[in-house]
Amino acid sequence: MSKFSELINQDKPVLVDFFAEWCGPCKMMAPILKEVKDSVGDAVSILKIDVDKNQTLAATYQVRGVPTLLLFKNGKQLWRQSGVVQKNDLISLIKSHQ
């Protein structure tokens, strides 16, 4: 099993941020994700995946644009959205899947 598969197979929500270093909106997501982590603490794991360094993984999840956020729990994809997502929306999403 790959490391990524192990990470998303937790029984708590795992938020995956597919991003690229050159992407402006991705840079806007970084402080939002930090605030989300500060708010919900250990209730969620947050993974950042650089699409340029992990092209196979990005292709597996059909990530066409960045940033793309996916929420997993027990290995199942529960939610997906491309673009910048606001802090309160992410916190509500995470709490609804705890």
Q: Which domains does the chain have, with CATH numbers?
A: 3-96 (3.40.30.10)
Query: Which residues are known catalytic residues?
Result: 23, 26
Which pLDDT tens digit goes with each residue over 13-70?
Answer: 999 999 999 999 999 999 999 999 999 999 999 999 999 999 999 999 999 999 999 9
Q: In this structure, are residues 85 and 32 in contact, taking their beta carbons and an 8 Å threshold?
A: yes
